[in-house]
Each structure stands twice: as C-alpha cells, then as structure tokens.
Amino acid sequence: MSEYVEHSPSGTSVGRVEKQFFTFAADEPLLVESGRSLGPVTLAYETYGRLNASATNAVLVLHALTGDSHAAGYYETSDSKPGWWDLMIGPGKPLDTDRYFIICSNVVGGCMGTTGPASVDPATGRPYGLSFPVITVGDMVQAQKCLIDHLGVGRLLSVVGGSMGGMQVLEWSVRYPDMVRSAVPLATTTKHSALAIAFNEVARQAIMADPAWNGGDYYDGEQPAHGLAVARMIGHITYLSDEAMRQKFDRRLQDRCEISFAFEEADFQVESYLRYQGQKFVDRFDANSFLYVTKAADYFNLESSHGCGSAVAAFAKAQCRFLVASFSSDWLYPTYQSRAMVQAMKKNGLDVSFVELEAKWGHDAFLLPNARLSGMIARFLDRAAADAAKEDARAL
C-alpha cells in the first residue's frame, strides 16, 4: 500500500475523527497460530457513522500492508491529508456513513497504536522487539473478532479490503462464516506467489542488513532508517505498473539538464521519488513491524489453512456473497489469481460477482478514484442491506 490519499469527487468528509483503543486478553492471553500467547493486546481503531438499533449495518474495513486504522476524515482541521480511503468512506460515498457503521482497526503486529514489536512487553518492561510472536493474517482476524464482539456487533453486513486487507476479508469469510453477510476482496490473493515472497524477502533483508537494526533491539538508540527506507522503495515499485512509471516519470531528469556521473545524486525523477517515499515511510513506520506484517502476508495460504490444500474446500466454509475485483495492470496480485478464487467460490455455489477493472496504475489502483468500482461497491452494499432487512423481518 503506497502513500496515495485521494479525495472523493462526490460526497462529503466524515469530518474530524478520533482514534480509539480497545484492550483485551489481559487475564486470558490471545493464543496465536505460532503456538505462543500474547497479552494484553491493544487494538487502535476508528468508527464512522452510527450502529443502528438492531446492530445490522456494521461494515468492517480492513487495511493493506502498511495502512492503519485512520481510513477516513481528519484528526485536526489543519491536517493536509484525510484517512487513506477517504474517497470511499463518508456521507454519500460508496461506504455511506449516513447508512452504515464503518469500523477500521490497525492489525496486530503493526505500529499505529496496536500491540506490536515496538510495544512494551509487560514481562520485561522493554519493547518486545523480536521476542514478539510471529503473527499471521489469521491472528489479525482473531483479534478483530474480539473488537467486533466488544462493539456489540453479532453479524457484519460486510467486510471490505484490498491487498493484505483483502486477505483478511477472505480469512473472515471462512473463519467466521456465521458473522459475515457479504465480502469485498479487492486486488488480493488466496496465497502469495514466489514473486511476491521474493520482493518481501529482499525488503526484509534490507532492514536486517542495516547495522542499526541490531537484531531488532534498536528502540533505545539509532533506528535502522536506511534499511527501512530501502525496504519501502522495493515495496513501492511493486505497487505501480510499467505504464504508470512511464507516464509519471519515464527517463526525465530531476532538477538538472544533464546526468551527474555520481552515485549520491538522484539523476532521474523516479530515483528522487523513491528516495522521498522511503524517507517519508521511515517517519511513520517501525522497521520491526514491517518485518512482521510482510511475513504474515507471505505465510497467508487460505487453501492450506482452511482446505487441506484445496481452495474449493476452503471456500466450502463460506456462506456470504462476494464481490471480487482485480485490476488489469496489477502484476503483484494479477487477475489470474482472482479468477482462481472466484472459480473456487462458484464451485461451492456461492453468490459471486467478479470484475477485472481496466486501470493503468498497478496494484495501488484500488486506492484511487474509480467510478466503476465505487458504483459496484455501493450497489453491492445496497443489495446486502436489503437482503439483511428481509432476513431480519422474517426472523421476527
């Protein structure tokens, strides 16, 4: 997930919002898939809109790799940018806060207010560092389930997310099928390809090769800023497409008319852009958290975890309807991966809508304005809400 933050061409902002915190697993630690336990656990989250009296209008939005709980609105009116999906969330937008109660939480292992490797280990009084347990997408979802229970939501109208957020959507649909009425996985996959794992491993090695990383124990001293910046540069390349790079930069020089014949200078605009993105990332993200969340994405394998190696068997557990969207220029999670999951869903007789959207901006296209995607999500949620109302009426 890159630094794209766009305003919606229609609708209005949710305005000023506040980050909230939920702490649990103090008396009974959270057992994670590695076999270790973790507690207490704090989740940072935000909500937009109001939960209705019957608690049937809740939509859980799940963020991508380096996202956070700040999905919409502003903390202060002076903020230069809104939340990362402000174009989708708000009054009159596809995730309409006049109708739906939107929830977004930061994942376990992150560094935006949720318990992660930078958090203090109560057993030692020092940051966990690498003593923090390796976590999975399943662990992230298990923690989110505790938050949803805490908020008094028995069943989610929908779970929506792109990239690693889409992985969480898929995990929700098969781990807690009774709690999910509908699901919208965008630009995602049921398991990482060797190519995706390779890019993540190179990024992790860049961090661990930084002398300041110090085996993950750097919180009292210099941060592994250079390694983390390089890791971000590597990741950022995968979020774009060849056409996006060509149109945005091509071989244009940065603030010069001739090449410098030097290594310290950024000759090309694309070099300057990547350096800027790397440095900006260092200012907001923890290097160890980057190791943990990329490893969680690499470990994600829905068919292995829930279907003994079969995607069809994994989706046999799901009960909800799906809207699956891929993007034509996404080479990180290409369309063939979305088609494979759709086929597995359909073999189980699930109600599935699928679209490959033409988009030139690569993997990050789900973060950018797209009228067709916005319309599809809005109509999909309309249908889910109407069907939920009918179900509830029959239950009376």
Residue ranges of the binding site for substrate: 232, 364
Helix or strand run (H / E) with residue 321:
strand 321-327
Tokens matching residue 122:
């109560």
What is the identity of the amino acid at 210?
D
Euclidean distance between CA atoms 171 and 303, whole angstroms: 10
What is the identity of the amino acid at 142?
Q
Binding site: residue ranges? Answer: 232, 364
Euclidean distance between CA atoms 51 and 60, whole angstroms: 12
- CA proximity to 214, closest of 205, 223, 206: 223
The one catalytic residue in 2, 8, 13, 163 is 163
Helix or strand run (H / E) with residue 185:
strand 182-186
The one catalytic residue in 86, 139, 330, 338 is 330
**Which DSSP state fits 75?**
S
**225: buried, middle or exposed (CB in 10 Å: 19+, 13-18, 0-12)?**
middle
What is the identity of the amino acid at 255?
D
Residue 330 annotated to the active site: yes
DSSP string, 91-124: TTSSB-TTT-EEEEEPPTT-SSSS-STTSEETTT
Euclidean distance between CA atoms 78 and 66, whole angstroms: 24
- How much of the chain is helix, strand and coil, in % rounded to 5? 40, 15, 45
Q: What is the greatest pairwise CA distance in the chain?
A: 76
Residues in contact with 357: Cβ distance below 8 Å, sequence separation at least 6, in sequence order: 325, 326, 327, 328, 365, 370, 372, 373
The one catalytic residue in 70, 226, 236, 363 is 363
The set of catalytic residues is 163, 330, 363
